[in-house]
């Protein structure tokens, strides 16, 4: 039985999406060459992964001669928000505050970071 495709991005899928978000559009070969991970995945692996990203709704393509030019269908911010929601649901029983507590306890935050967080909390209270 085939495995249900994940709603979130795998590490490899995210790397390919990072290329598409940065470039806007790219062929399979352009995506492959833009990957910084060594060794680079094979052309066929990149092509298959881009097709999976299309099936998941993250990417689309347009025909260009005999090949395809891929482009992102979802914005990076939208995908990252969905990933955070997934993380909160999966590991923190749906509690965003538990995620925040975990981040605060486990991070070395600068004074600027803390001031920004305090400002965001104050703004959230005013809403």
Give the number of C-alpha atoms closer than 13 A to the C-alpha of residue 16, restricted to the C-beta side. Answer: 32
The pTM (predicted TM-score) of the whole model is 0.81
**Residues contacting residue 2 through CB under 8 Å, at least 6 positions apart:** none
Domains and CATH numbers, the chain: 11-72 (1.10.10.10), 76-126 (no CATH)
Q: Is 93 left (phi over 0), alpha (psi -120 to 50) or beta?
A: left
Q: What pLDDT tens digit does each residue of the chain (127 aa) get?
A: 555 667 789 999 999 999 999 999 999 999 999 998 788 899 999 999 999 999 999 999 999 999 999 999 999 999 999 999 999 999 999 998 999 889 888 788 888 988 999 999 999 999 8
């Amino acid at each position: 039985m085939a495995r249900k495709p994940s709603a979130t991005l795998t590490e490899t899928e995210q790397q390919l999406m990072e290329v598409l978000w940065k470039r806007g559009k790219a062929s399979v070969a352009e995506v492959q060459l833009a990957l910084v991970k060594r060794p680079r995945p094979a052309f066929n692996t990149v092509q298959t992964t881009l097709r999976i990203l299309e099936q998941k709704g993250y990417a689309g393509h347009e025909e260009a001669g005999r090949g395809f030019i891929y482009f992102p269908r979802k914005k990076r911010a939208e995908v990252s928000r969905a990933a955070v929601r997934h993380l909160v649901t999966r590991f923190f029983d749906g509690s965003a505050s538990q995620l925040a507590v975990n981040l605060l306890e486990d991070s070395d935050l600068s004074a600027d970071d803390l001031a920004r967080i305090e400002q965001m909390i104050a703004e959230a209270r005013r809403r």
